[in-house]
Amino acid sequence: MSNRRAGDDRRDRCRLCGSPLSETVGESAVSEFCSTGCRDVAAEFGAGDGDSGTDSGDMTDGGTDDTDRDETVRTFFRVDGMHSATCEAFLEAVAEDQAGVSDAEASYVTETVRVDHDPERVSTDALEDALSTVGYTAYLREDATADDETGGTRRSREMSGLRKRRADDMLEMRYVVGVVFGSFLLLPFLAVLYPMFLTDFTDWGALSQFDDAFTGFSGPMYMPLFLVMTAAILYLTGGPLLRGAYVSLKLRRPTTDLLAALTICSAYVYSVAVSGLGRNDLYFDLTIVVASIVMGATYYEATVKRRATDRLTDLTVSQVDTARLYASDGSTTELPVADLESGDRVLVREGERVPVDGTLAEGECAVDEAVVTGESLPVTKREGDDVVGGSVVTTDAAVVDVGERTTSSIDRLTRIVWNVQSADHGVTRRGDELAATVVPIVLAAAVVVGAGSLVSGASGLSVALAALMTLMVASPWALGFATSYSVASSLEAALERGIVVFDETIFERLRAIDIVVFDKTGTLTTGEMSVLEADAPDDLLAAAAALEQRAAHPAAAAIADAFDGSGGDGGGDRDGGNASGPTRADGGTAAAGDRTVRDFHTHATGVEGTVDGRTVLVGHPDLFRERGWTLGETLEARLERARAAGRLPVVVGRDGAAEGVVIVGDEPREAWEETIAALDADGVDIVVLTGDDGTSADIFDRHSGVDHVFAGVSPDGKTAAVRRMKGDDRVAMVGDGTNDAPALAAADLGISLGSGTALAADAADVAIVDDDLASVERAFALARAARNRIRQNLGLAFVYNAIAIPPAVLGIVNPLVTTVAVVVGTLLIVGNAERSLVGD
């Protein structure tokens, strides 16, 4: 693309989020932005070049990134076996070494690798083979879900996919092998060797029978059993540790895997050497126990993560897997969405989701696009209007002409989320950071000890054994166990409180959060309209309810439910809630009853019809003005007060004149004030983003803990706003809708509420299972406590070395000493990890 063309495109797009500018934007102050919300965000945090919101390549079909070269495609792979930032760097290097690959980004948080490549030079199959190396298993992310599963979040479907299940089964098998065969091999140690070594420290007579138990016992007689079976355990159970050590050495980035590998491998080699000499100071048990303990913690962590994703299977599913093909004779045929072609027509019945983007072929209907746009009210669609895939038809049925690209906005939003996630590297675990410091020290100690032995005149074999012994007792292998076990126990503690944590590094990232951004609709508010007040004659309210029963938008449903004759009581506090029904000015009760409705008609902002012989109009004040109906000054003032309070006023009238108003609102969630106050007290800045107008967010703007409220922000603008805030600060985003998903993924930390959509949960690092806003602050408190617990356990990981090193220096170390050190250190870590994190 030429620079001139690129410049022209930027002038036609919002300076903040890159969305196309509307031709109707008239204010000069807004003319460079797609909305007042984007303008206000840019004024506060600065504007970029219009590409901060959604990469243009993100929205292209099939993953093609047309911002670079037309022949470059973007492919997403899921890679089982990733568990650290080192894995990310290794797999990126593997991918970039392939011919035709221009860029690769990996994220162990989501176990994905994004590769930009020329399909003519390197195929997806070749990339899949290249990434399936040294124990990693790669496959297309599109193929990761189980063929027979369509429910739940995509994350949960990926976790239950056949390939992922096989990977988990292999991990379980490794763990079982370590425990079963390791236990069998430990029997001789428990029965003979440990009592024998205990005689070095006590003269207890009962142990005298074990003196010189192996005297005359030549090495070749017992070596084959221990050597072969311990080697099998080392390969199977310790395989992931050995792979991690190899990767860390290749990248020259020491990790806890390398520390554990130093211990188990040095113990094995030392034991093989001394068994050949006929000695009985065998450390095969150290290899078995350490490999089993570390892999047990890894298996525990993987199991808890799988249970966490299983908790999300009941969330709303926004994707549509099948479509109803509509023939010219009116017949329909159900087929997979993937089989649709441009020019096909699909039938979408009332209450169903539109499977793909297209245009309305005939008639009109109301469509709820909140899942994509975030708008709280449905919009009326007429023949020829664009229809967004993933939106819900709320009235009548819709016949939709499939667009040029047989995808939905949900599908493209999913790819946007994948793009952001794969480019967002996980945080290096604290254990790996310590390993980077400790490994050189351990290796240096082994060299010094070996050199000292050599200077003292020891043989080459003795020098090697001294160096191996140093590695066994000096390497803090327990750092890997402490990290995995602490993370798993913290994830489980969060899960017990209804907080699903997908990324264990949240416990490290949360401490640095400077700004928490809340979406308004469905997050700070319930997302459900209800009647709060009503000031109109009873019979008119009943007539309005009779009309609204035929409409399909949240305000209509609220009015119909309030005055449908099912016992809605109008009593109560005029300024209070509606626990028993909407507040009535006269304390009366309205009921729709069995009223006769004729000539019903839906307008863009209301409904009209003849009820019991009289013309009734219900809707926005502008609708009354357009129709020439009169609005009194008193009523106008009442409407202004309602809008100022962030409520939606619905005017009701008949026979040419407005006679009253029904106040409808999306109520704030319980405990929203306490949640914001608690976060504010922690020194966190609070920002509220909403696609609605400013008056609807006034209640939040007035809270002393809220620093900024930005209204009228488009979905792309939310993502751009988060990225702008990330310039100098670390940002957490709290949302619930599909339109929030890119912003959730772009934030340093994403939190979705339980009422949210599947894509929002997939994009987030934390999901609140229940609609409990207080759990947001609880998640922060839990993460802070978990971070402290991990740090404590990393300190306890050195208990093994504190016990084993002094006897080694004194020359009295033996397998019993190292085993006691392993047991004591492990029990301390487990005991500390199992303590309650926070008070309930």
Name the residues annotated as catalytic. Answer: 519
Say which DSSP state 757 is in: B
Whole-number Å distance between alpha carbons of 565 and 757 = 33
SS3 assignment for 408-447? CHHHHHHHHHHHHHHHCCCCCCHHHHHHHHHHHHHHHHHH
Q: How many CA within 13 A on the CB side of residue 835?
A: 14
Q: Which two tokens stand for residue 383?
A: 């023949």
Which residues of 695-758 form beta strands (DSSP E)? 708-710, 731-735, 749-752
Whole-number Å distance between alpha carbons of 74 and 60 = 10
Q: How many CB atoms lie within 10 A of CB 785?
A: 18
In Å, how far are 246, 437, 609 from 86, measured between CA atoms?
Answer: 11, 15, 67
Whole-number Å distance between alpha carbons of 370 and 690 = 12
Whole-number Å distance between alpha carbons of 59 and 72 = 14
Element spanning 241, H or E: helix 239-251
**Three-class SS of residue 585?**
coil
Write the CB contacts of 584 (distance below 8 Å, at least 6 apart in sequence). Answer: 533, 534, 535, 570, 571, 590
Whole-number Å distance between alpha carbons of 393 and 388 = 10
Say which DSSP state 91 is in: H
What is the DSSP pairing of strand 332-336 with strand 358-360? unpaired
**Please, are residues 582 and 570 in contact by the beta-carbon 8 Å criterion?**
yes
- Angle (deg, nearest 10), helices 799-810 and 460-474: 150
SS3 assignment for 135-146? CCEEEEHHHCCC
Element spanning 395, H or E: none
**Please, are residues 667 and 526 in contact by the beta-carbon 8 Å criterion?**
yes
Whole-number Å distance between alpha carbons of 289 and 293 = 6
Q: Which two tokens stand for residue 534?
A: 């009503």
DSSP 255-300: -HHHHHHHHHHHHHHHHHHHHHTT-----HHHHHHHHHHHHHHHHH
> What phi and psi, each to the nearest 5 degrees, are found at residue 650?
-115, 120
In 3D space, the residue among 713, 521, 698 whose CA is nearest the CA of residue 36 turns out to be 713
In 3D space, the residue among 414, 406, 412, 388 whose CA is nearest the CA of residue 325 turns out to be 406
**Please, are residues 521 and 711 in contact by the beta-carbon 8 Å criterion?**
no
Q: Which two tokens stand for residue 63?
A: 């993953």
Residue type, 255: T
Whole-number Å distance between alpha carbons of 783 and 506 = 7
In 3D space, the residue among 73, 16, 801, 1 whose CA is nearest the CA of residue 473 turns out to be 801
Q: How many CB atoms lie within 10 A of CB 22?
A: 13
**Please, are residues 289 and 818 in contact by the beta-carbon 8 Å criterion?**
no
